[in-house]
Every structure is written in C-alpha cells, then in structure tokens.
Structure 1
Amino acid sequence: MRFLPAVKLSALASLLLCFQALSSAHYFTNVNGYTLNSKGDLLRFSEIYIVDDRISAIGNDLKLDEGIDAIDMQQAVMLPGIIDAHGHILGLGENLIQVDLRGTKSEADAVARIKAHVSSKGELDNGWIIGRGWNQVLWPEQKFPSKESLDRAFPDTPVMLSRVDGHADWVNSAALKLAGIDINTPSPAGGEIVKDEQGQVSGLLIDNASYLVTSVIPPANTEDLIARLNIASEHLLTLGITSAHDAGISEQVKELYTKQAEEQALALRIYAMLSASDPNIEDMLKAGHVADDHGFLSIRSVKAYGDGALGSRGAALLAPYSDDPHNSGLLVTPEENLPMLFNTVIGANFQLNFHAIGDRANRLALKQFARSFETFEQNTQRHRIEHAQVIAVDDIPLFKEYGIIPSMQPTHATSDMNMAEDRIGKARLKGAYAWQTFLEQGSPIAFGSDFPVELANPFHGLHAAVTRQNANNQPEGGWIQAESVTLKQAFRGFTLDAAYAAFQENMIGSLEVGKKADFIIVDRDIFAIDPSSIRDTKVEQTWVNGKRMY
C-alpha cells in the first residue's frame, strides 16, 4: 500500500477555482482515505478537492490557494463508491414493499409471516399476494413447499411467492386456476410444473413454468415502478452503493429509466441490461446505446438466461445432480437458439451478459461466444457470464482466452455452501465459486450481490470474498479457503473491475483526478481490522456526482 502524492489541479480545475462562487466545491482534509489507481495499486490519501461533480485534486499535501474553506474529516474513513455489478433494482424495490420470506424457519412459519404482512398492510397488489425469499434448504426437512398450506390460509386470493434465487415459485390453487394450470398442462420448454407423488400439481413452478402465472398478474404501472425505484435507490445509498448494474430490464423499464435520467431524477448510477426475452428486444437493439449527459444511465448491454439455479436444481449440468440422479437441470434458452441470440446481440454492438450457473450452461455459452466472435470481430471485448458458478475446471481458462468477464457474487458461495456439495458432489466443487483461480489467470472479476436474491450490503460481499464464511464466521477457516481473495482483490471487484465491466473505468471505480466524485464515509478502517469484522461496517455518508445523497 502506498500513500498518494499530491496531484496538481488540472487546468480546468484551476480555472474553476477562480469562479468558486459560481460552482459547488468541497475540500476535505484530515481524511483516512483509500483508493485504487488505474493500475490497481491501493493508495492512501488525506485530502481531496471536489469541484461540482468531479475530483480536481487528491493527495496528502495539496497546498490549495488560501481562502478555500476546508472540512476537517477528523480521520473519517473515505472509500470510492461501491459498484454492485449484478442486481435487480426494481425487484429489490418490490421486495422491500411486498412480503419478505427471507429467514423463515419452515413452511408454516412462511405462511404465518404472509398472514402477518397481509394483516398489517391492509391492501393487496392488484388483488394478489406476492412475495419472495423462502429457501427450503434452511427448513428442517428441506422439502419444497406445496399449495395446500397456502390454500388453507388463502383459499380465494391468488398467491405467488418466489424462492430466494428467483428460479422457483410457490403458488396456491387460486393462482393456478387463473393461469389455467391443471394436471393436464404440459411443462413449457425450460421449465417444470412440479407434480406430487399422486401426480397432482404441487404448487411449485420451476423457471419458465412461472411465466404461466406471472402472465396473468396485472402489470405494474409507471407510478408503481417509480415507487419501487425510489425505495430501492434509497436503500442502496444507505449501503454505500453509488452504481448498480441492473440485470435484465423490460422496454417499459428502459423508458422509465431514460425519462428519469433526462429529468435528472436518478439518485444513483444505473448500468442497465436489456432483457433478451422482451418481445421488443430487436427494436431496442436497433435504437442503439443510451447514455445521459451526467453519467447516471448507461444502456449498452443485454441480459440473457442460460439456465436456472442450483438451489432449485435448475442449473444445467454436464452430469446429473448428485442428489437427484435423474435430473441434469434446465436450459432456459434452448441450445439451438443460442447462435441467433448471441449473433443478434453481439452483431448489434451490444455487450452480452449471459446467466450461466451450471457447468453445461457455462460451456455452451463459452463455445457460442467463440463462434460468434469469428463472425463479429469488431465486438469481442468485455462480454460477461453472470454468476459463472459451477464450471468444468478445463473450461475456466477459456474465460481468459476469449476475454469473457466472470460476473460473480461472493455471498452466493456462503449461502450455497450448505447444499452445494449435496447438489454436485465434491469433485465438481473444484471449479465452483473459483474466484482466486480466475484472478490468478488474469480474468478480472466484477463482484456484486444479485440483490434481492442476497442482501444488497456490499460489506457482506467483501467479508464473504475474503473469509469464505457466513454471518457467524463459519465454517472455521472458511469454505474452500483456497478460492478466497485478498481484501484488495475483493475491493477491486466491487470498484474498479465492476466499472471496467461496464466500460466506465475512466469515469468511476476509483478516486482520481478527473473522475466523478462518488465516494462513501464508513465507520471503520476495513484495511486495518480483522476480516471477521468487515461485515459489520456501517456507511455514514454516501456522495454521488459530488452531492451528498445519504
């Protein structure tokens, strides 16, 4: 770690000094500051000077002109704003408004929480009860829930409750009836209508089967979406997140974000990925990239789904599940559709960010990237595989060879460790959640949380990345500790490399002269404490574009 030397003001910044009365300037001194530079070196600084939305000077002995008011930070810890490279902003807002089943201890406990939520709220979402967060792996018998418990509690009101990973839904008979699902309804491609031992519809829908129900839920209007955006933005800012990559938005949301950016109404930066499944995706691609003048909105990528999730056994595997020998998972996008999908997106000069959790989905994606790059040589840089969770060891070097960025979420490992070996066995774990292996071969990792699948708190992610432990600092020594990363590496994944994965490393991701003034003040020096305490870090201030937003 090095101390950052005083950096002279740029010509533009010097000119702005002459017109302080016409601009917004902040001069922070006595700072305990940390940042990476463009080379990835971790540097320390004690002073930073900001004019309007950009950093004009940073270092340890700036010697600015007399008359500039200084703000003594009394050794407060300052860090660059955190970038979450994979989340779902409106999904988070929806989750904060609707019933949250995270942490429920059983199916009965989940039903009780739903009842309490409905009782306290006093109104329903367009006549539906909608929620998210249950995880049967944490329940005593680890069995998937069924419609019967919901039917007893809510016989006439349709209910739809997403699993914590968003790849399975628990519904009641009223919801099934509205969707026209019965014992004779076939499972759609890339999904499963789960049946019980008697052959009856159980109330569990996996991956694409959920669309049969979501298609009959009244759509959210603009007012609903703005409410979700605002509550999610407020929540993310309290956690020190100044930029979020929104993994899969519809045309309706694209229009909303664009309007909000035009009106300068966005509270944090959004790097949005268009949803490949949107009916108007080709028209959106033809319209080209979107970027506002203030750097708050960028739309130049597409999110597509390869498979499901490990917890619901929907991740597509090369060999069957170790705990379900007749099941190898699901391809949400059929293999035969991959060439057209990849060629359409890459050929339109958009970044393709492909969801792949299982080793089969990852292999198919890597092979198709290679084929498409042969056709579209002008667009081969910075494409991503989202999650890159379970990978055949021999396929990991292909990420480096093809320039594919693994976009990974550290808390997925610590959430999955209680079931991952059951699902895939010990041998396949050698290529699972392999952060250090990727970094050692030179692949930059864009770190995120996948909120609201996981909690959005980035310090939970930093803790998990470094310790490979859960909230209780278990297991001792960490789970597959060889794949843990250093704090500097983890910090880079949530800042500079996340910015790189969005083509924004020249604007954000570090505190350097000329970059946007996105930074946070936290309550502890994360580089000087025991890693077990990183998770407890609290954010005291969040600044975006030179303005205090929290």
Structure 2
Amino acid sequence: MSNPSAETILHNGVIRTMDAANPVAQALAIAGGKIIGVGSRAEIEPLRGERTAVIDLGGRMLMPGLIDFHVHLLPSMIARLHTTAIDTADDFDTILGKVADACTRGDGRDWVVANSYGALALQRMREPGALAALDAVSGNRPVVMQHLSGHGHFANSAALRLAGIDAATPNPPDGEIVRDAAGQPTGLLVESGAWAVTAAIPELSAAGKAEAARASIGYLNSLGITGFADASASLEALEFYRALDDAGALTCWAAFHLALSPTCSGYSADEARLMREQRRELCGPHMNADFAKIFLDGVPSLRTAAMLAPYASAPDEPPVATSLTLDELTEAIADFDRDGIGVKVHAVGDRAIRMVLDAVEQVRRRNGPGGPQHQIAHGQFITADDIPRLAQLNVLHDMCPPLWHPNSASLTHERMVGPERYATVWPVRDILAAGAAVVAASDWRTIAPDLDPWEAMCGLVTRRDPTGRHDGAHAPDQALSVAEVLPLYTTNPAAAMRLGDRTGRLAPGLSADMIMLDRDLMTIDPLAIAQTEVLATWFEGRLVHGSA
C-alpha cells in the first residue's frame, strides 16, 4: 500500500514541534487538515504527490500555534472596537481630556465607556472633587471608566443616576459604592458595586456583537494564536462562537469556562442551568464547555485580594471577605466535580489560594481523587508551603496577566503589599519544579488594550520589562528558559482544554495548527522575543493569517 499524498509540505526551516519524541524537524506534511508526517526532508519526500503544494520556509521557525488559556474574548473585542482607549499610565487630567473629546463626538451611542485607568488616576479619583471634574467635561452624557483589573470602575453623576445609585443605595454583597464624608457616592465603584452601572450601559446590537466575535478570531490568528479559553463565558458568547464554528470561521480551538456561579458578573440562574445542562449540545466541533468559573476574591491594586497578612499600604484595614466561605466553595466545586466539570477559581491573594486548595482537598476526599483537573486563576501570591499541593491535588496554575516583570500594574501591586511580600510573587520556576501543571495566559483585556503574547513570553524569560519603560528585573531567579516557556503556551494549555490529543504539538495525527515566525526563538537574544512577528498562521492546515 502506497503512502498517502500530502496536500502541503513545508520544508527548509527549523520546525520546533513541542513533541518530546521528535523535538526538531526539517519538514512537515499535511493532508485533510492533519499532520501526516514530521521529519527530515528525505523522510517526508515520499509523501509528495503530483498536486502537493510545497512551501519553502526559508530557514524560518515553524512551531505550534499559541493557545491563550485565559481571555475575556468577546467583551474585550467589543471594548477594542467600541470604547475610548485610556492608558494605564495616564493621569486624571489626561483622562479627562480624552473623555471630553469622546463626549463631543457624535458616535451614535449615548454612553462613553473608557478603559483602562491605572494607579495614578485612581489616586486622584479617591480625592474630593474628582466626580465634579468628570461631570464638568461630560455634562449630561453618562460616562463610566474601568480600572485595568476589571474589578473597579469610576462613573459620572449621569451614569450613577441611570443606574439608580444615590446616597440611599446600599452596598451590594462583595462590592462597595465609595462615598464621601456626607454619604454621597464619589463615583468610585468597587467589585460588584459597579454591576448596576455596567448593566445600564446599552447593549451593542446582535449584529455588532457577531462582527466583534468574528473580528476577535482574526485578531487572535494575527498574533499566532490558534486556541483560546474564555475565562467567564455567557450563553450569548457560546452562541456567537457556535455560529462562527457552524460557518467554518472559528479558526481557533475554543474552551469556555461558563458563568455558572452567582459570583460571576452577569450571572443568571436560568441561563446557568441551561448552559450546564446543554453545554455539549451548545458547542460546535472546535468548542468545549466542560468548565465553570468562580470568583473568590479581587485584586491587590484595589486591596480586594484576600491576603493572609494585612496590606502594607493599609495595615489597619480588616481582612478582605471572600465571596464564598470555605464550606460554600467546597460544596460548589464538589457539585461541578461530580459532573465532570473543571472549575477555574479566581484567587489572587495567598489566603484565597489556600482556600481553593483546602476546598479541592476536601472534594478529592469526598468524590475520589480521579475527578477533573481544577484551576487557580492568577494565583501570584501563592505561598511556598502551598506550591507542592498543586500537583498533589491536580490543580492547574493558570498564570496571568503578565505581571511577572516590572510594569505600571505590578509596581502598583508592590506598593499595596510592600516590596518584601511582592518579591515572592510569580514563583513560576518553583511551581514547575514541584511538578505542577502550569499555563501562561493574557487575561486580555485587563492590563493593556492590545494582546501581545510575545511581549509576555519575553517577560517570563527575562523577568524584565520588554518595553524598556521600567528598570530592573522581578525575581530573576524565577526566570525560565525559552524551552521551558513554550509548553506554557502550547502543549500545557492544549492538555488543560482536554485537547491534547488534537493540538498543541506538531506530530502525526494532530491538527495542523502552526505558525511561521520571523526569528528562531531558541537562538536569539531573549529580549528580542518581544519583537517577534508572526508571518503566517495555519489552522487545520488552512492559511488563516499572513502568507507563506
């Protein structure tokens, strides 16, 4: 029986496969959207037929497509297309100027939504007169701005009125409407305190959302991303990406952590019940929704992350309350675990992380050790004592956003918790050495308007700011080699999405999801990783970005 003919052969390059059995190759053959051969040119040549397209890589690097395991894709793309961009380094006066410009533009939408502000602006927003200053430039047009973490907002008086927030409005559970000495709202809204405002923002039309969903996939492919996991998905998001899958336009593998917990923004009991019961029927062939999301704490920049010790910046503040007690968290995870649903728990502070591990330990004892892998999202403040428990309990460390090097957001966290405690965060080398499953992800769009996996990857290798704006290195002893980083963006997230038998490596039988780069990541100066350009992206053997 003769060998099958390849539809496409790629050769004359450095093919880094992420396959331990065959890590580097010269040529690769594709047929029917799958890889049918990887090896030397001589080994692949017999697969060449009369109609085989042959692509000369010109010595360039070919590798598996990247997988972003933690992204808020649809809302982030809508924000990219339809909101006013503010930089996290902008001061309050600069932001006021941008809001004033946006308020004078007739864009057909009453509301002005802007993101993302950072520490410098937040400092002024906490002072008297900030709301009046925002009102002065926005008039009667409702304005709401989002903190870079997504866990805080600042709204003008018109937005507060439309949301029904005034001096008599009580704080919601797990949130705060910040007030002045007279009891009046200042415009600052923390955690669920903002939900009434964000719910009052008129929705984009269904057609506009569908276009944003389609644009989001093109955006990912342009960055070399051929897989993503949505970190807190609604039924609506599932439906938009299912429509793309049905149309052959979902050129990414897609996992969805469903908003099945009341701790999730926009939670609906009826919608959650439907999503849980029909999670497999709602998915197309490139989708998997066997995951749920729980929010347990907040973020350090707003002092809402649950810590074991007081914040250095506010030593007399009482401990932050978590959204669930240990017993409630255990019950929630146990319920999902019995149903084969992996749970991603947002846990940033060391106390919240320990709670997750304590809960999973009880779940493993109760349901048996063979249940699905669960996940800690973020987890940067994990203590040394808790690191070994990740592997012992089969808990994945979902590491994001990319704050493992000095930048404006990480420096804000350092000011909140103090330099001594901040020096211990993101101990990724120690976590990997302990045998834990680890992925690196973006958490787009929490810290930057643009998604840049190459800049983030550079930061993991160097622990330095790839942009050069901030000096120094954060915990350089925790830096990884390129060879150690690449699995965090390929094989590890593929396995975590339960797709390790389909993608994440370049090996026979797997989907031909590949990217061609303008440089060999293994041989260049690590600081040059940040400037990597994706020249071509293939999904299931089909060119979906660039040219080759």
Q: Give the structure-2-normalised TM-score.
A: 0.90
User: Is contact 1:222-1:256 (8 Å) kept?
Assistant: no
Corresponding residue number in structure 1 for 2:434 = 441
Residue 246 of structure 1 aligns to a residue in which SS? strand
In the alignment, structure 1 residue 106 sits paired with structure 2 residue 91: yes
Corresponding residue number in structure 1 for 2:397 = 406
* Whole-angstrom distance in 1 between the partners of 2:105 and 2:11: 48
Selected match of 1:380 from 371, 386, 399: 371
User: Is contact 2:465-2:471 (8 Å) kept?
Assistant: no
Corresponding residue number in structure 2 for 1:219 = 203
In the alignment, structure 1 residue 32 sits paired with structure 2 residue 23: no
Residue 234 of structure 1 aligns to a residue in which SS? helix
1:241-280 equivalence runs, <5 A = 241-276=225-260, 277=262, 278-279=267-268, 280=271
Cα displacement (A) at 1:379? 5.2
Amino acid at match of 2:17: T
* Whole-angstrom distance in 1 between the partners of 2:356 and 2:283: 31
Corresponding residue number in structure 1 for 2:536 = 541
Corresponding residue number in structure 2 for 1:7 = none
In the alignment, structure 1 residue 391 sits paired with structure 2 residue 382: yes
1:311-330 equivalence runs, <5 A = 311-325=301-315, 326-330=317-321
Deviations for 1:405-455, whole angstroms, at most 9, x for unmatched residues? Answer: 000026223344312332223443364211111001011211111111134
Residue 393 of structure 1 aligns to a residue in which SS? coil
Amino acid at match of 1:54: K
* CA RMSD after TM alignment: 2.3
In the alignment, structure 1 residue 229 sits paired with structure 2 residue 229: no
Corresponding residue number in structure 2 for 1:43 = 23
Amino acid at match of 1:509: G
* Whole-angstrom distance in 1 between the partners of 2:503 and 2:381: 30
Gap change, CA 1:506 and 1:532, over 3 Å in 2? same
Residue 432 of structure 1 aligns to a residue in which SS? coil
User: Is contact 1:191-1:209 (8 Å) kept?
Assistant: yes
Gap change, CA 1:385 and 1:436, over 3 Å in 2? same
Kindly, what percent of the aligned residue pairs are identical?
24
Gap change, CA 1:221 and 1:475, over 3 Å in 2? closer
In the alignment, structure 1 residue 339 sits paired with structure 2 residue 330: yes
* Whole-angstrom distance in 1 between the partners of 2:40 and 2:396: 35
Cα displacement (A) at 1:313? 1.5
In the alignment, structure 1 residue 505 sits paired with structure 2 residue 511: no
User: Is contact 1:290-1:297 (8 Å) kept?
Assistant: no
Residue 30 of structure 1 aligns to a residue in which SS? strand
Cα displacement (A) at 1:76? 2.1
Amino acid at match of 1:63: E
Gap change, CA 1:26 and 1:103, over 3 Å in 2? same
User: Is contact 1:42-1:488 (8 Å) kept?
Assistant: no
* Whole-angstrom distance in 1 between the partners of 2:54 and 2:231: 40
Decide which moves more: 137-146 or 321-330: 137-146
Corresponding residue number in structure 2 for 1:181 = 165
* Whole-angstrom distance in 2 between the partners of 1:114 and 1:332: 33
Amino acid at match of 1:29: H
Gap change, CA 1:215 and 1:380, over 3 Å in 2? same
How many residues are matched? 526
Cα displacement (A) at 1:468? 0.9
Gap change, CA 1:269 and 1:527, over 3 Å in 2? same
* Whole-angstrom distance in 2 between the partners of 1:172 and 1:536: 39
Corresponding residue number in structure 2 for 1:348 = 339
Residue 237 of structure 1 aligns to a residue in which SS? helix
Cα displacement (A) at 1:529? 0.7
Amino acid at match of 1:45: A
User: Is contact 1:132-1:163 (8 Å) kept?
Assistant: yes
Corresponding residue number in structure 1 for 2:45 = 63
User: Is contact 2:378-2:401 (8 Å) kept?
Assistant: no
Cα displacement (A) at 1:111? 2.0
* Whole-angstrom distance in 1 between the partners of 2:14 and 2:437: 27
Amino acid at match of 1:443: A
* Whole-angstrom distance in 2 between the partners of 1:237 and 1:243: 9
In the alignment, structure 1 residue 195 sits paired with structure 2 residue 179: yes
* Whole-angstrom distance in 1 between the partners of 2:519 and 2:124: 38
User: Is contact 1:347-1:379 (8 Å) kept?
Assistant: no
Amino acid at match of 1:32: V
Amino acid at match of 2:294: A
1:466-545 equivalence runs, <5 A = 466-473=461-468, 478-545=473-540
Amino acid at match of 1:128: W
Deviations for 1:15-70, whole angstroms, at most 9, x for unmatched residues? Answer: 642xx7xxxx1111112221211x4x782222111112111111123222463442
* Whole-angstrom distance in 2 between the partners of 1:268 and 1:44: 24
Corresponding residue number in structure 1 for 2:443 = 450
Residue 314 of structure 1 aligns to a residue in which SS? coil
1:120-139 equivalence runs, <5 A = 122-124=107-109, 127-135=110-118, 137-138=119-120
Cα displacement (A) at 1:461? 1.4
Residue 413 of structure 1 aligns to a residue in which SS? coil
Amino acid at match of 1:92: S
Amino acid at match of 2:159: A
Decide which moves more: 62-71 or 187-196: 62-71
User: Is contact 1:507-1:516 (8 Å) kept?
Assistant: yes
Cα displacement (A) at 1:231? 2.2
Decide which moves more: 494-503 or 255-264: 255-264
Gap change, CA 1:390 and 1:142, over 3 Å in 2? farther
* Whole-angstrom distance in 1 between the partners of 2:475 and 2:125: 27
1:88-107 equivalence runs, <5 A = 88-97=72-81, 98-107=83-92
Corresponding residue number in structure 2 for 1:298 = 288
Gap change, CA 1:365 and 1:256, over 3 Å in 2? same
Decide which moves more: 532-541 or 248-257: 248-257
* Whole-angstrom distance in 1 between the partners of 2:443 and 2:278: 28
Cα displacement (A) at 1:264? 2.4
Gap change, CA 1:142 and 1:350, over 3 Å in 2? same
Residue 231 of structure 1 aligns to a residue in which SS? helix
Gap change, CA 1:246 and 1:59, over 3 Å in 2? same
